[in-house]
Protein backbone atom coordinates (compact mmCIF):
# COMPACT_ATOMS: atom_id res chain seq x y z
CA UNK A 1 0.00 0.00 0.00
CA UNK A 2 1.32 3.47 -0.74
CA UNK A 3 2.48 5.06 2.47
CA UNK A 4 0.52 8.22 1.72
CA UNK A 5 -2.72 6.40 2.63
CA UNK A 6 -1.44 5.78 6.14
CA UNK A 7 -0.59 9.47 6.41
CA UNK A 8 -4.04 10.79 5.61
CA UNK A 9 -5.07 12.52 8.78
CA UNK A 10 -8.69 12.38 9.90
CA UNK A 11 -9.65 15.67 11.53
CA UNK A 12 -12.33 14.04 13.69
CA UNK A 13 -12.98 10.60 15.17
CA UNK A 14 -13.97 7.98 12.61
CA UNK A 15 -17.78 7.79 12.89
CA UNK A 16 -19.59 4.46 12.89
CA UNK A 17 -23.04 5.91 12.19
CA UNK A 18 -24.44 8.74 10.14
CA UNK A 19 -27.40 9.84 8.07
CA UNK A 20 -28.18 11.97 5.06
CA UNK A 21 -31.42 13.20 3.57
CA UNK A 22 -32.28 12.99 -0.11
CA UNK A 23 -35.35 14.04 -2.04
CA UNK A 24 -36.65 11.64 -4.69
CA UNK A 25 -36.27 13.31 -8.07
CA UNK A 26 -38.65 12.94 -11.02
CA UNK A 27 -35.92 11.31 -13.14
CA UNK A 28 -35.60 8.50 -10.55
CA UNK A 29 -39.24 7.47 -10.92
CA UNK A 30 -41.41 5.43 -13.25
CA UNK A 31 -44.54 6.94 -14.89
CA UNK A 32 -46.53 6.17 -11.70
CA UNK A 33 -44.20 8.32 -9.58
CA UNK A 34 -42.52 5.36 -7.82
CA UNK A 35 -38.75 5.44 -7.40
CA UNK A 36 -37.01 2.72 -9.40
CA UNK A 37 -35.27 0.12 -7.23
CA UNK A 38 -31.89 1.02 -8.76
CA UNK A 39 -32.26 4.59 -7.48
CA UNK A 40 -31.52 3.38 -3.96
CA UNK A 41 -27.95 2.26 -4.81
CA UNK A 42 -26.57 5.79 -5.36
CA UNK A 43 -28.35 6.97 -2.20
CA UNK A 44 -26.53 4.28 -0.21
CA UNK A 45 -23.24 5.38 -1.76
CA UNK A 46 -23.95 9.01 -0.91
CA UNK A 47 -24.62 8.06 2.71
CA UNK A 48 -21.42 6.09 3.17
CA UNK A 49 -19.22 8.68 1.43
CA UNK A 50 -20.64 11.38 3.69
CA UNK A 51 -19.96 9.15 6.70
CA UNK A 52 -16.28 9.08 5.71
CA UNK A 53 -16.29 12.83 5.02
CA UNK A 54 -17.50 13.39 8.61
CA UNK A 55 -14.00 12.46 9.84
CA UNK A 56 -12.34 14.93 7.47
CA UNK A 57 -11.22 12.49 4.74
CA UNK A 58 -12.91 12.20 1.36
CA UNK A 59 -13.09 9.29 -1.06
CA UNK A 60 -11.19 11.50 -3.51
CA UNK A 61 -8.33 11.79 -1.01
CA UNK A 62 -8.34 8.02 -0.45
CA UNK A 63 -8.17 7.38 -4.20
CA UNK A 64 -5.42 9.96 -4.62
CA UNK A 65 -3.47 7.99 -1.99
CA UNK A 66 -4.01 4.75 -3.94
CA UNK A 67 -6.82 3.32 -1.81
CA UNK A 68 -9.95 2.24 -3.69
CA UNK A 69 -13.04 0.87 -1.99
CA UNK A 70 -15.07 -1.28 -4.35
CA UNK A 71 -18.46 -2.82 -3.70
CA UNK A 72 -17.91 -6.56 -3.42
CA UNK A 73 -21.42 -7.34 -2.18
CA UNK A 74 -24.74 -5.51 -2.05
CA UNK A 75 -27.90 -6.87 -0.43
CA UNK A 76 -31.16 -4.93 -0.37
CA UNK A 77 -34.60 -5.79 0.98
CA UNK A 78 -37.31 -3.55 -0.40
CA UNK A 79 -40.31 -3.18 1.92
CA UNK A 80 -42.21 -0.18 0.56
CA UNK A 81 -42.02 2.23 -2.35
CA UNK A 82 -40.40 5.63 -2.35
CA UNK A 83 -42.37 8.18 -4.34
CA UNK A 84 -41.60 11.28 -6.32
CA UNK A 85 -40.76 14.23 -4.04
CA UNK A 86 -40.51 12.12 -0.87
CA UNK A 87 -37.84 13.26 1.53
CA UNK A 88 -35.86 10.22 2.64
CA UNK A 89 -33.35 9.64 5.39
CA UNK A 90 -30.60 7.15 4.62
CA UNK A 91 -28.88 6.01 7.81
CA UNK A 92 -25.58 4.17 7.68
CA UNK A 93 -23.80 2.07 10.27
CA UNK A 94 -20.38 0.47 9.98
CA UNK A 95 -21.00 -3.04 11.31
CA UNK A 96 -17.70 -4.72 10.59
CA UNK A 97 -14.14 -4.29 9.40
CA UNK A 98 -11.25 -6.55 8.59
CA UNK A 99 -7.83 -5.77 7.20
CA UNK A 100 -9.31 -5.47 3.69
CA UNK A 101 -13.08 -5.03 4.07
CA UNK A 102 -15.65 -2.62 5.44
CA UNK A 103 -19.26 -3.65 6.03
CA UNK A 104 -22.06 -1.08 6.17
CA UNK A 105 -25.74 -1.52 6.95
CA UNK A 106 -28.40 0.95 5.87
CA UNK A 107 -32.00 1.88 6.51
CA UNK A 108 -33.93 4.15 4.18
CA UNK A 109 -36.98 5.79 5.74
CA UNK A 110 -39.48 8.32 4.47
CA UNK A 111 -39.47 11.45 6.63
CA UNK A 112 -41.68 13.68 4.52
CA UNK A 113 -44.36 12.83 1.93
CA UNK A 114 -46.90 15.15 0.33
CA UNK A 115 -50.44 14.58 1.62
CA UNK A 116 -49.32 11.88 4.06
CA UNK A 117 -48.97 11.96 7.83
CA UNK A 118 -45.52 10.44 8.18
CA UNK A 119 -45.98 10.25 11.96
CA UNK A 120 -48.81 7.79 11.34
CA UNK A 121 -46.60 5.78 8.99
CA UNK A 122 -43.89 5.73 11.63
CA UNK A 123 -46.31 4.67 14.38
CA UNK A 124 -47.28 1.68 12.21
CA UNK A 125 -43.62 0.99 11.31
CA UNK A 126 -44.47 1.76 7.68
CA UNK A 127 -41.85 4.48 7.25
CA UNK A 128 -39.08 1.93 6.60
CA UNK A 129 -38.63 1.53 2.85
CA UNK A 130 -35.39 -0.42 2.47
CA UNK A 131 -32.82 -2.27 4.55
CA UNK A 132 -29.50 -2.91 2.84
CA UNK A 133 -25.89 -3.86 3.42
CA UNK A 134 -22.68 -3.52 1.48
CA UNK A 135 -19.28 -5.11 1.76
CA UNK A 136 -16.49 -2.92 0.41
CA UNK A 137 -13.13 -4.41 -0.49
CA UNK A 138 -9.96 -2.35 -0.49
CA UNK A 139 -7.93 -2.59 -3.70
CA UNK A 140 -4.95 -0.81 -5.24
CA UNK A 141 -4.84 1.03 -8.58
CA UNK A 142 -4.48 -2.29 -10.42
CA UNK A 143 -7.52 -3.77 -8.67
CA UNK A 144 -5.51 -6.10 -6.43
CA UNK A 145 -6.64 -6.52 -2.80
CA UNK A 146 -4.69 -4.46 -0.30
CA UNK A 147 -4.97 -3.62 3.38
CA UNK A 148 -7.10 -0.75 4.54
CA UNK A 149 -5.24 2.13 6.15
CA UNK A 150 -4.78 1.40 9.87
CA UNK A 151 -6.67 4.55 10.91
CA UNK A 152 -9.75 3.35 8.98
CA UNK A 153 -9.95 0.02 10.80
CA UNK A 154 -9.05 1.30 14.28
CA UNK A 155 -12.53 1.56 15.81
Residue 2: the pLDDT is 46
Q: What is the pTM of this model?
A: 0.90
With 50 as the cut, is the pLDDT of residue 148 above it? yes
Residue 4: the pLDDT is 62
Between residues 153 and 91, the one the model is more confident about? 91
In whole numbers, what is the pLDDT of the chain averaged over residues?
Answer: 92
Residue 7: the pLDDT is 65
Confidence band for 155, pLDDT divided at 50, 70 and 90: low
Q: Kindly list the structural domains of the chain, giving each domain's residue range(s) and its CATH number in brackets, ordered by start.
A: 17-153 (3.10.129.10)
78-104 pLDDT, tens digit per residue, is: 999 999 999 999 999 999 999 999 999
C-alpha dihedral over 108, 103, 93, 91, to 10 degrees? -20
SS (H, E, C) 59-95: HHHHHHCCCEEEEEEEEEEECCCCECCCEEEEEEEEE
20-49 pLDDT, tens digit per residue, is: 999 999 999 999 999 999 999 999 999 999
Amino acid sequence: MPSSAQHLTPTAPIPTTGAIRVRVRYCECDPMGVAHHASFVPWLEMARTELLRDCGVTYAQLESAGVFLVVAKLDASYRRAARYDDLLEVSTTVTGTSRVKLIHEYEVRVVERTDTDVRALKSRAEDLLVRASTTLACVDRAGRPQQLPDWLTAR
